[in-house]
């Protein structure tokens, strides 16, 4: 193992040739197309939307969904590796892919009608169309069941009222998968861009995920055709099913972010000299690097195992919670250690550290906060739910 | 169009090269191997020709077992099949014995055009394609930055880089070997569906017996060149920092430039 790589336990040997090739291809794409310009994107708060079509051409959007709808029909491990490599570039790029793949395409595929699937999935897979997912509301984050957004049937239409907050891709989406209560039950609806009564407001002043679009969605007597209901959606279980897929990818993604911080730290520790020797020769710096590599390795193994279980049909959402909780918290710790190790350079966008660190602050709490995932595991262990 | 691409697997361009203690080669442990970057232009151009004119793209590569990965990468980009010259007897080849083996594998194939990188970035000889074209008795055009194949597939117009940024335009009858240079195109990334399909595409493995050549015609035995030694340039010595008043410094500097560096 060369010191700057992160495959300490030869985990590559646990991957198939195909899985490694996907990982290397996405890594090459990220090295060439994302990393050279991402610091500027982050600083200017610009989402690099031109990369969406490229991801579509590479067939890495909606990776696990079936080929009959223009998707690759690949495995969860491959999906995870894609997320890992994208977030090695930036959490914003990975967030785009997670949302489009797991929160837009997956629910259309799982809960949609045949017409909805045929209409939306191929274009979303090619990156010609963009989607967003509206579940969270300003006052309902960890408790989505308390949502205020309502749908009412009116003849051949549904009328939506309410608002959604912190919605990735909101302002650039052609279609929003919106969760609203219909007669007291949570159902999914497809709301197209430009529908009267539907507006998206860009959320500004973010200090995290700056290379990603985040929006508020507002529905004021927004009338959509009755066929835009996702017919097989029903109850909170439906959006949570989507979140399970996305959270699983986030575990891999956060690990990718940690890998980027670690790799930069190893290089820095060898190049930066103080007291006439590289800072990597100091014990406290070595301690940081050793802790980083250990946690990255542990997260890689956990993610891979959860992925294999999913591919074998044995995956449970509690597994996902463990992987997401572990990877995001360890990645954030690693980014903070890397930030410390880089000294003043750690706060400059000339280095990737502060960007990853700020991004991970979001990744740590979105799609189920660290604490909520702990409580999901706590429920699993004791049989006693600590919330609800 | 039956399109062939000659491709070589080489160490990743970011590899830190370490010479073995005997000086006979490099330390290969832990090296990541990739498709020769100039060959990526050749694969991309082949795929573009196929997309425009139809046909098949066949990747021809000589190398050890691991070279299969690079062939699969080309198949994942969209090539149709591979031919892999793989035998211990092919090891240690120079440009000539490489060309000889490639020619033996290519002769039985049907081809309208052969593409390859202008050189492999490992040994940097840039000689294989010329020798190969000679052995196949076809023309070759080197350092090509633009290529237009005629609609009838019988000829092509290629632009070459020449000194001073000028371009030379050459019309060549096909089949010919086109040696591809950076700037010709932007190689695509393999797609996930492409990667999934690649593992089912055929790779024909050609060993010494199948090549029809004898052991002394190929590899190290068939080589015209013998590499005597590899060495890395000496590490740069630390610079000198002069201290003192400007007048003193200038005097010291002139003295050093004259007596030590012998530059003036």
Q: What is the pLDDT of residues B93-112, one digit of tens each?
A: 999 999 999 999 999 999 99
What topology does CATH give the domain B2-222?
Answer: Rossmann fold (3.40.50)
% of chain B surpassing 70 pLDDT: 100
**Residue B178's pLDDT is what?**
96
Cβ atoms within 10 Å, residue A181: 17
* Interchain CB distance below 8 Å, B196 and A60: no
Mark residue B93 as left, alpha or beta (left: phi above 0; alpha: psi -120 to 50; beta: remaining).
Answer: beta
* Interchain CB distance below 8 Å, B198 and A74: no
pLDDT digits (tens, 9 = 90+) for A340-361: 999 999 999 999 999 999 999 9
| ipTM computed for the complex | 0.90
Res. A4: pLDDT tops 60: no
Residue B232 binned pLDDT confidence (cut-offs 50, 70, 90): confident
Token pair belonging to A334: 């690693």
Contact assessment for residue A159 and residue A151, using Cβ atoms and an 8 Å cutoff = yes
Nearest to A21 among B16, B73, B193 (CB): B73
**Pairing, β B113-117 against β B2-6:** parallel
Residue A235 contacts by C-beta under 8 Å, 6 or more apart in sequence? A185, A186
Q: How far is CA B8 from the centre of its chain?
A: 6
Residue A223 binned pLDDT confidence (cut-offs 50, 70, 90): very high
Residue B256 near chain A (CB below 8 Å) = no
Residues of A with CB under 8 A from a CB of B: 1-2, 17-18, 21-22, 25, 28-29, 54, 57-60, 63, 67, 72-74, 78, 82
DSSP B34: E
**What domains are defined for chain A?**
11-126 (1.10.540.10), 131-228 (2.40.110.10), 237-382 (1.20.140.10)
**Pairing, β A157-168 against β B113-117:** unpaired
* Interchain CB distance below 8 Å, A18 and B195: yes
**Residue B227's pLDDT is what?**
87
Contact assessment for residue B73 and residue B190, using Cβ atoms and an 8 Å cutoff = yes
CA within 13 Å, CB half, B153: 13
Whether A295 is a known active-site residue: answer no
| Nearest residue on chain A to B77, alpha-carbon basis | A58
Site of tokens 């052609």: A174
Res. A3: pLDDT tops 50: no
Instruction: Of A377, A328, A340, give the one whose Cα is nearest residue A94.
Output: A328
Nearest to B30 among A2, A22, A72 (CB): A2
% of chain A surpassing 90 pLDDT: 98
pLDDT digits (tens, 9 = 90+) for A87-113: 999 999 999 999 999 999 999 999 999
Cβ atoms within 10 Å, residue B78: 21
Catalytic-labelled residue, pool A87, A128, A367, A380: A367
* Interchain CB distance below 8 Å, B190 and A21: yes
Residue B106 near chain A (CB below 8 Å) = no
**Residue A2's pLDDT is what?**
45
CA distances from A158 to A119, A135, A192, A222, B167 (A): 20, 17, 13, 8, 65
3-state secondary structure of A118: helix
CA torsion sign for A359, A360, A361, A364 is positive
Chain B: give the shortest CA distance to residue A244, in Å: 23
pLDDT digits (tens, 9 = 90+) for B25-51: 888 888 889 999 999 999 999 999 999
Output b/e per residue, A101-127; b: 16+ Cβ within 10 A: bbbbbbbbbbbbeeebbebbbbbbbbb
**Pairing, β B113-117 against β B176-180:** parallel
Please give the average per-residue pLDDT across B193-210, as a whole number: 95
Rounded Cα distance, A92 and A361, in Å: 12
């Amino acid at each position: 193992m060369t010191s700057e790589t992160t495959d300490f336990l030869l985990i590559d040997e646990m991957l198939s040739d195909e899985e490694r090739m996907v990982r290397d291809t996405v890594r090459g794409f990220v090295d060439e197309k994302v990393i050279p310009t991402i610091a500027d994107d982050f600083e200017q708060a610009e989402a690099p939307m031109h990369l969406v079509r490229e991801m579509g051409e590479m067939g890495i959007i909606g990776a696990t969904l079936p080929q009959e709808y223009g998707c690759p029909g690949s495995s969860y491990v491959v999906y995870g590796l894609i997320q890992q490599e994208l977030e090695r570039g930036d959490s914003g790029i990975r967030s785009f892919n997670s949302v489009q793949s797991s929160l837009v395409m997956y629910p259309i595929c799982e809960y949609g009608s045949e017409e909805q699937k045929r209409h939306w999935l191929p274009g979303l897979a090619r990156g010609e169309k963009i989607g967003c997912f509206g579940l969270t509301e300003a006052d309902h984050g960890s408790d989505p069941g308390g949502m205020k957004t309502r749908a009412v049937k009116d003849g051949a239409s549904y009328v939506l009222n309410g608002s959604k907050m912190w919605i990735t891709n909101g302002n650039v989406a052609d279609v929003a998968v919106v969760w609203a209560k219909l007669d007291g039950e949570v159902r999914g609806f497809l709301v197209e861009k430009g529908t009267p009564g539907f507006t998206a407001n860009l959320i500004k002043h973010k200090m995290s995920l700056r290379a990603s679009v985040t929006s508020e969605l507002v529905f004021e007597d927004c009338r959509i055709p009755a066929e835009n209901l996702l017919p097989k959606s029903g109850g909170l279980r439906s959006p949570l099913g989507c979140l399970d897929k996305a959270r699983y990818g986030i575990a891999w993604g956060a690990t990718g972010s940690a890998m980027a911080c670690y790799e930069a730290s190893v290089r820095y520790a060898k190049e930066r000299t103080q007291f006439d020797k590289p800072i990597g020769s100091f014990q406290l710096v070595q301690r940081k690097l050793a802790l980083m590599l250990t946690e990255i390795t542990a997260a890689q193994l956990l993610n891979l195992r959860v992925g294999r279980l999913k591919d074998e049909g044995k995956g449970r959402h509690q597994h996902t919670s463990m992987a997401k909780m572990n990877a995001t918290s360890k990645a954030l710790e690693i980014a903070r250690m890397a930030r410390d190790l880089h000294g003043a350079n750690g706060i400059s966008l000339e280095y990737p550290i502060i960007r990853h660190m700020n991004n991970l602050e979001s990744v740590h709490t979105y799609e189920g906060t660290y604490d909520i995932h702990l409580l999901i595991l706590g429920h699993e262990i004791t049989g006693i739910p600590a919330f609800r | 169009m039956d399109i062939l691409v000659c491709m070589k697997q080489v160490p990743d361009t970011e590899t830190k090269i370490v010479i073995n203690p005997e000086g006979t080669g490099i330390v290969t442990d832990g090296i990541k191997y990739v498709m020769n970057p100039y060959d990526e232009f050749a694969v991309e151009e082949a795929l573009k020709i196929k997309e425009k004119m139809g046909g098949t793209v066949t990747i021809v590569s000589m190398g050890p077992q691991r070279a299969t990965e690079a062939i699969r990468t080309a198949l994942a980009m969209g090539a149709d099949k591979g031919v892999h010259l793989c035998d211990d007897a092919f090891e240690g080849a120079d440009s000539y014995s490489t060309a000889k083996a490639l020619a033996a594998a290519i002769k039985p194939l049907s081809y309208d055009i052969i593409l390859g990188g202008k050189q492999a970035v490992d040994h940097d000889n840039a000689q294989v394609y010329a020798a190969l074209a000679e052995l196949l008795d076809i023309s070759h055009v080197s350092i090509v930055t633009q290529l237009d194949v005629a609609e009838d597939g019988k000829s092509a117009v290629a632009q070459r880089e020449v000194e001073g940024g000028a371009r030379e335009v050459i019309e060549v009858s096909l089949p010919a070997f086109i040696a591809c240079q950076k700037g010709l195109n932007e190689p695509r990334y393999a797609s996930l569906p492409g990667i999934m399909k690649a593992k089912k595409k055929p790779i024909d493995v050609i060993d010494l017996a199948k090549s029809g050549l004898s052991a002394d015609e190929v590899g190290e035995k068939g080589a015209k060149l013998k590499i005597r030694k590899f060495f890395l340039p000496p590490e740069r010595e630390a610079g000198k920092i002069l201290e003192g008043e400007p007048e003193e410094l200038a005097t010291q500097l002139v003295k050093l430039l004259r007596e030590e560096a012998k530059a003036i």
